[in-house]
A and B are shown apart, each in its own frame.
Chain A
Amino acid sequence: MRHIRSLVALSAFCAVGAPMAQQAPAEEPGWAKGRPKTETAQKMAPVPAFPVPTPADQLPVKKFKLPPGFKAEVWASGVLDARGLRQGEKGNIFVSSLFVANKVYVIPEKGKREAKVIIDKMPLATGIEIHKGSLYLATNTKIMRYDNVEDNLDKLGEPKVLYDKLPGGTDHSWKYLRIRGDKLYYAVGAPCNICDPGEWAKIFRMNLDGSGVETVASGVRNTVGFDFEPKTGRLWFTDNGRDWFSEELPNDELNVVTQPGKQHFGYPFCHQGNIPDAEFGWGKSCAEYAKPAALLGPHAGSLGLKFYTGKMFPAKYQGAMFIARHGPWNRTRKYADIQVARPDGKGGARLETFMTGFVENNNYLGRPVDFLVMKDGSLLVSDDHAGAIYRISYSGK
C-alpha cells in the first residue's frame, strides 16, 4: 500500500518499544508486522521516492496511454518528491512533498513553471489545502495555517498552529486535507501494518480554528485521498489495505461515507468487506462493517482522489472521480495507473482504467499521487517518483 508507509529511509535495525531493564526482543518496525518469513517477502520493504527528479526530456510522457482524444504532457519538471496539489484563488499551484524533500513549493499558473520553495525543512509537509487565501498545512504532528499566502510568497512568515495533538510517528502518519462547509477534514491512519489502532485509524473533521474535532469514519487503515461528490456532498475516500496477507489480497478499498460519524469500515477486523483478518477477525463478522463501493486492487497504494468538475472532458467524466494508484512496494509484480470511478447510484462505483504507462519491465518510471482540476478543465497529476507534474487535456482528436 503506501509505498513508504513507515519510512524506513536509511532503514531500521528495529523499532523499539518502551525502555526495559533487561534486554527484551525489540519490536519489529510497524510496516514489517505480519511479513512472511519467505525469502521473497523478506526482501520487500517500503521504498522512498527517488531523491533526484527525472530530467524533463526523460519523463515517460510518450509511454503514457490514455483514452482517444486525451493527451498528456509535462506541465512541470524538477519538482522533487511532488505529492499534494492545490490551487490558490490567484492561480498559484501549491505542491507538497513527503520526507525526501520536506518542502512545499509554489508554481505560477502562467509563465515559467519553475517550482519555488516556500516552506523548507518541514518533515512530512504533505497535507495541504487552500481556503480563503490561507494555506493549511498538516504534518504528522500538527496542523498549521499560513494566511494571505499568495501575497507573501517570498516570505510566508510564521504559521498559526491550529492543532498539535496529532500522534506523530512514521506509520500512516502523513496527511491529506480537504475543506468543505467550514470544516477541515483529515485522517490519522493505523500506527502499523496490522494492529489494534486504539483511538486512530479514523477520518476526522474540525472547525477551521482547530476546535471541535469529531469522527467522520472509523476503521480506516490509511486514507491518503478523499473528496466530496459534487451532487450529494458525500465523502468518498481511498483506503490502503493491509500488507503481507498474500500477493493478491486484500484489495485497497474505495469507500463512501453515507452516515458521517456512524460507520466503521472494517480495519483491523475485516478487509475489503469480505475477508476477516487472520488475527483480529476472530469473533467478528464482516457483516458488521460498511462495505466498500469498489475494490482498487491488491497493495495498489491508492492515493489521491478527485471528482472531475471541469468542462473540458467529455460528459461521461462529469461526476466521475479520478484515483491515483501509486503502485505496490510489497507485491512482486508492480503496477501503477490512474483509474476513473463512477458512482452507480446504489452505493457502489464502477472502475475504468484511464491512464497507464507508469511501469516498464516491472520498474516504476513514474508514480501518480494527486490531482488538480485546472480552470480550463485540464487535469494536473503529480508524480513523486519522477518529481514531475503532468497535464492531461482533451481535444477529441
Chain B
Amino acid sequence: MRGLARFALCALTLMSLAGSAGAQTKPRSTGKAAGVPAPANPYPQHFAALCAACHGANGRSDMPGTPVLAGQHSFYAITQLFLFREGRRSNEAMTAVAKTMSDADLRGFSEFIGTLPPVPAPAPATPPDAARMKKGRELAQLHKCLFCHGPDLSGGQQVPRIGGQREDYLQMSLQEFKSGKRPGYTMAMTEAVSQLNPEELETLAYYAAHFPGATASGK
C-alpha cells in the first residue's frame, strides 16, 4: 500500500530528524544567560522540521494512522509526549522522537500544538451514512463518551479532541485501549471501552471522525 510505505518513510525521516532537533533545543532548557534577550520561540520551526512531514504543516494529517494535531490541547499533547518518552505509550517512531526531547522541548512542542486551530476534515465524496451516524451517536451517549470529551467532542485540558480526528487513527486507538496496549496514566479508557465489540468500536470511530461540524461539508 502506498500509504503505508509513505508512513514508514515518514517515520524514518522523523527518527533521523529527531536527533538533530533535540540537540538544537537542549541548550535552551538550561536557561538563558544573564543580559541576553530571550530568543524568538523556536518551536514553530521545530514543528515544521520534525512534526509537519507526518502530522501536516497545519496539524491536519493526511497520513494513514497519524493523528490530527490541529485543535488539540497542549496539556493533552504534553501528556502524550511524556508517555512516549517514558515508554508508557508504545509507538516506535514517536518514542524515538520523544526520547530526544528535553522537558523544555516537551513544553515547547506542546504549547505550539495548542495554538494550532482546529482544521475541518476534507469534505467527504458522499455524505456520511446516516444510519451509522445515528448508531454512533447512540453508542457515544450510552458509553458516556461525552462525559469527558464534551458534547461537541472537542475535549479539554488532558482530554483529546476526537471530533474530526482521522477515522483510522481513532479505530487504532480504540482497539489499543480495548486490548490494554495503550493504558494512559490509568486503565480508565480500557475500562471505558471494555463492553464494546469491534464493530461498535468502528462505528464510534466513524461517528467521531464524521462528527457534524468537524468536516468541511458543514453541519
Q: A: which residues have CB within 8 A of B?
A: 6-16, 19-20, 23, 25-29, 32, 42-43, 45, 47-48, 50-53, 55, 57, 99-100, 123, 170
Give me 24 A-to-B residue pairs in the complex whose CB atoms sit less than 8 angstroms apart, sorted by A's number. A8-B158, A9-B158, A10-B184, A11-B148, A11-B159, A13-B143, A13-B145, A13-B189, A14-B147, A15-B144, A16-B143, A19-B195, A20-B195, A23-B142, A25-B144, A26-B143, A45-B156, A48-B185, A51-B79, A51-B82, A53-B103, A55-B31, A55-B103, A55-B104
CB of B160 closer than 8 Å to a CB of A = yes
Question: Across the interface, do A16 and B191 meet the contact criterion of CB distance under 8 Å?
Answer: yes
Q: Which residues does chain A contribute within 8 Å of B148, judged by CB atoms? A: 8, 11-13, 29, 45
CB of B107 closer than 8 Å to a CB of A = yes
What is the distance, in angstroms, from A81's C-beta to the closest C-beta of chain B? 10
Question: Across the interface, do A43 and B156 meet the contact criterion of CB distance under 8 Å?
Answer: yes
CB of B155 closer than 8 Å to a CB of A = yes
Question: Across the interface, do A8 and B195 meet the contact criterion of CB distance under 8 Å?
Answer: no
What is the distance, in angstroms, from A372's C-beta to the closest C-beta of chain B? 25
Question: Across the interface, do A52 and B82 meet the contact criterion of CB distance under 8 Å?
Answer: yes
Question: Across the interface, do B147 and A52 meet the contact criterion of CB distance under 8 Å?
Answer: no
Q: Which residues does chain B contribute within 8 Å of A12, judged by CB atoms? A: 144, 147-148, 188-189, 191-192
Q: Which residues does chain B contribute within 8 Å of A19, judged by CB atoms? A: 195
What is the distance, in angstroms, from B79's C-beta to the closest C-beta of chain A? 6
CB of B120 closer than 8 Å to a CB of A = no
Task: With A42-B150, A52-B78 as known contacts, state yes or no: A9 contacts B184, CB within 8 Å.
Answer: yes
Q: Is the interface of A mostly helix, strand, loop or mixed?
A: loop
Q: B: which residues have CB within 8 A of A?
A: 29, 31, 75-76, 78-79, 82-83, 103-104, 106-107, 140, 142-145, 147-151, 155-160, 184-186, 188-189, 191-195
A48 to B191, CA, bound (A): 18
Q: Which residues does chain A contribute within 8 Å of B191, judged by CB atoms? A: 12, 14-16
A16 to B144, CA, bound (A): 10
What is the distance, in angstroms, from B94's C-beta to the closest C-beta of chain A? 15
Task: With A52-B106, A52-B107 as known contacts, state yes or no: A14 contacts B79, CB within 8 Å.
Answer: no
A254 to B136, CA, bound (A): 47
Q: Which residues does chain A contribute within 8 Å of B106, judged by CB atoms? A: 51-52
Q: Which residues does chain A contribute within 8 Å of B189, judged by CB atoms? A: 9-13
Residue of B nearest to A23 (CB): B142
What is the distance, in angstroms, from B3's C-beta to the closest C-beta of chain A? 26
What is the distance, in angstroms, from B31's C-beta to the closest C-beta of chain A? 5
What is the distance, in angstroms, from A347's C-beta to the closest C-beta of chain B? 39
Residue of B nearest to A6 (CB): B188
What is the distance, in angstroms, from B91's C-beta to the closest C-beta of chain A? 14
Question: Across the interface, do B188 and A9 meet the contact criterion of CB distance under 8 Å?
Answer: yes
Question: Across the interface, do A42 and B151 meet the contact criterion of CB distance under 8 Å?
Answer: yes
Question: Across the interface, do B149 and A11 meet the contact criterion of CB distance under 8 Å?
Answer: yes
Residue of B nearest to A27 (CB): B144
A87 to B105, CA, bound (A): 34
Question: Across the interface, do A170 and B142 meet the contact criterion of CB distance under 8 Å?
Answer: no
Q: Which residues does chain B contribute within 8 Å of A45, judged by CB atoms? A: 148, 156-157, 159
A52 to B110, CA, bound (A): 11
Q: Which residues does chain A contribute within 8 Å of B104, judged by CB atoms? A: 55
From B107, B185, B193, A100 is in contact (CB under 8 Å) with B185
From A11, A16, A42, A99, B195 is in contact (CB under 8 Å) with A16
A127 to B112, CA, bound (A): 36
Q: Which residues does chain A contribute within 8 Å of B149, judged by CB atoms? A: 11, 13
What is the distance, in angstroms, from A195's C-beta to the closest C-beta of chain B? 16
Question: Across the interface, do B159 and A15 meet the contact criterion of CB distance under 8 Å?
Answer: no
Question: Across the interface, do B195 and A47 meet the contact criterion of CB distance under 8 Å?
Answer: no
What is the distance, in angstroms, from B80's C-beta to the closest C-beta of chain A? 8
What is the distance, in angstroms, from B141's C-beta to the closest C-beta of chain A? 8
A9 to B159, CA, bound (A): 8
Task: With A9-B184, A13-B145, A51-B82 as known contacts, state yes or no: A57 contacts B156, CB within 8 Å.
Answer: no
Question: Across the interface, do A15 and B192 meet the contact criterion of CB distance under 8 Å?
Answer: yes
Please give 18 more A-B residue pairs, beta carbons under 8 A apart, in addition to A13-B144, A42-B151.
A10-B159, A11-B158, A12-B148, A12-B191, A13-B143, A13-B193, A14-B144, A14-B145, A15-B192, A23-B195, A26-B192, A26-B195, A29-B147, A43-B156, A52-B103, A52-B106, A55-B104, A99-B186
A123 to B143, CA, bound (A): 26
What is the distance, in angstroms, from B81's C-beta to the closest C-beta of chain A? 8
Task: With A11-B155, A16-B194 as known contacts, state yes or no: A32 contacts B185, CB within 8 Å.
Answer: no
10 residue pairs, one from A and one from B, having the closest CB atoms: A14-B144, A9-B185, A10-B184, A13-B192, A51-B82, A11-B148, A11-B159, A12-B188, A12-B192, A9-B184
Residue of B nearest to A19 (CB): B195
What is the distance, in angstroms, from A148's C-beta to the closest C-beta of chain B? 29
From A7, A55, A57, B188 is in contact (CB under 8 Å) with A7
Q: Which residues does chain A contribute within 8 Å of B79, judged by CB atoms? A: 10, 48, 51
Question: Across the interface, do A51 and B78 meet the contact criterion of CB distance under 8 Å?
Answer: yes
What is the distance, in angstroms, from A263's C-beta to the closest C-beta of chain B? 33
Question: Across the interface, do B147 and A28 meet the contact criterion of CB distance under 8 Å?
Answer: yes
What is the distance, in angstroms, from A387's C-beta to the closest C-beta of chain B? 9
Residue of A nearest to B81 (CB): A51
What is the distance, in angstroms, from A185's C-beta to the closest C-beta of chain B? 26
A25 to B140, CA, bound (A): 10
Q: Which residues does chain A contribute within 8 Å of B107, judged by CB atoms? A: 52
Question: Across the interface, do B143 and A14 meet the contact criterion of CB distance under 8 Å?
Answer: yes
